[in-house]
Amino acid sequence: MIQLSIAEIAEIVGGTLVTSESTLPADAVVDGVVDTDSRLMRPGGIFVAKPGEETDGHLFVGAAREAGAVLAIVERELDEEIAQIVVADVVLALGEFARAVVARVHAGGALRVVGITGSNGKTTTKNMLAAILERHGETVAAKASFNNWVGAPLTMLRITESTRYLVAEMGASAPGEIAKLVRMAVPDIGVVLKVGLAHAGGFGGIEATAKAKTEMVADLAEDAVAVLNADDRRVLAMRDATSARVRLFGLGADASVRAEDVVSGRDGTRFTLVIDDQTAPVHLRVLGEHHVYNAIAAAAAATELGVPTADIAATLSEITRAERWRMEVLGGGADGVTVINDAYNASPDSMAAALRTLAQITGPDRRSIAVLGVMSELGEFSGEEHDRVALQLVRLGIDQLVVVGPEARRLHITAINEGSWDGESVYTDTQDEAFELLRRILRPGDTVLVKSSNSAGLRFLGDRLGEAFA
């Protein structure tokens, strides 16, 4: 974080500063880590006591102080020997804190901010772009999927006066949330990847989702750049909603940043990266042809920041995985079983893409096994979207389906109704049951996809299978 006195921070967040003889004084300057997790505190840190659904950050102010925190942002004054800023709403204060810090560094002229949103692919694209940019200057990017009102500002507060690039992932589960994050970070480049049914329950349908994603580019300045997916008609339509200059990415000739000659296999995807009149070969080792879109979106943002095409292609070719639990290839040991752990998140689009990849990379003499859990946050669309996944799975010829958990049982029922009645679909209540079943039925050469929403926790089943067949 940049250096600020605790009095300046109090003024920024509109809070009341409480100090004593045993705490830092008002004019003390701090620049330590800012976090809501007391376990991540370091000497000189700032602890944000966020109330939560299961616990309350105010209970951990003492632990944060013992770990080295010197300032706490709280909603009520506590009997703790630490300087405190008392605010009405800690989350709103955190956002205002981030907005002010980004604005100060941005005003210095060196910082460039990229905001990334979309129903799928945000984290992968963010990681790819950060990998490209960190070779050209100090880069701050979100950890994991830190993309909401808490995670995004915590990422923003990691910047310093020497930070050249801030890559901010911006997610939302309801209208207006992306707009607030955009006002917080004020991106120089806004990237929109795809409009799908992720979090459809919160938005109310795909058109409402498209409207919410448009918030990324609607308020961009005229000298900013909107990077849009030319192959998604709802994203492409956003060019009429922004005053920023538009840069298109995609697979077709109308995109100035595109992938040509795309060929996928078990070792990843090869393509030719085209940026305006320049070309370069890419071997994207991240499994799944759908990740090509994430790669060329990152390339489009990077080229707007002055990174040469050859450098972009070279870095993309060196990336071996998108993120923990995202198309992560495990196993492949003595038993010859390959496990693809893609169970950090799941939406209808990402589920369909993962199943296509499973079918695509499984040879004719090998078996494909899909271990699936629930796709959450789909609201009224949940039933029909789970039916659609089951139908696709049958049509793709996936050899074996294992459904895990009561919330996902409809996948099993629909698969049977669509023709998977000869033991090709099996339902298990728990991960332990699924693990024991898979231990019995898997054989050398099998490729196993584990896919579910984060809430189902199948990523841990994927890890267990990866260890068992390492």
Q: Which residues are annotated as a binding site for ATP?
A: 118-124
Identify whether the C-beta of residue 332 lies closer than 8 Å to the C-beta of residue 442: no
Residue 426's DSSP bridge partners are 402
Identify whether the C-beta of residue 307 lies closer than 8 Å to the C-beta of residue 417: no
Identify whether the C-beta of residue 72 lies closer than 8 Å to the C-beta of residue 18: no
Identify whether the C-beta of residue 200 lies closer than 8 Å to the C-beta of residue 378: yes
Identify whether the C-beta of residue 265 lies closer than 8 Å to the C-beta of residue 251: no
Sign of the dihedral through C-alpha 140, 145, 151, 152: positive
Identify whether the C-beta of residue 402 lies closer than 8 Å to the C-beta of residue 369: yes
CA gap 411, 404 in Å, rounded: 9
CA gap 166, 142 in Å, rounded: 9
Q: Please count the CA atoms within 13 angstroms of the CA of 326 that sit on its side-chain side.
A: 22
Binding-site residues, in ranges, read 118-124
For strands 46-48 and 71-74, give the pairing: parallel
Residue 56's DSSP bridge partners are 51
Give the tokens for residue 384: 């029909």
Distance of CA 35 to the CA centre of its chain: 19
Identify whether the C-beta of residue 85 lies closer than 8 Å to the C-beta of residue 6: yes
Give the tokens for residue 154: 């915590």
Identify whether the C-beta of residue 384 lies closer than 8 Å to the C-beta of residue 205: no
388 burial (CB, 10 Å; 0-12 / 13-18 / 19+) is: middle
Give the tokens for residue 70: 């010197």
CA gap 362, 58 in Å, rounded: 51
Quote the DSSP letter at residue 219: T
Q: How many CB atoms lie within 10 A of CB 144?
A: 14
CA gap 352, 344 in Å, rounded: 15
Q: How many CB atoms lie within 10 A of CB 24?
A: 17
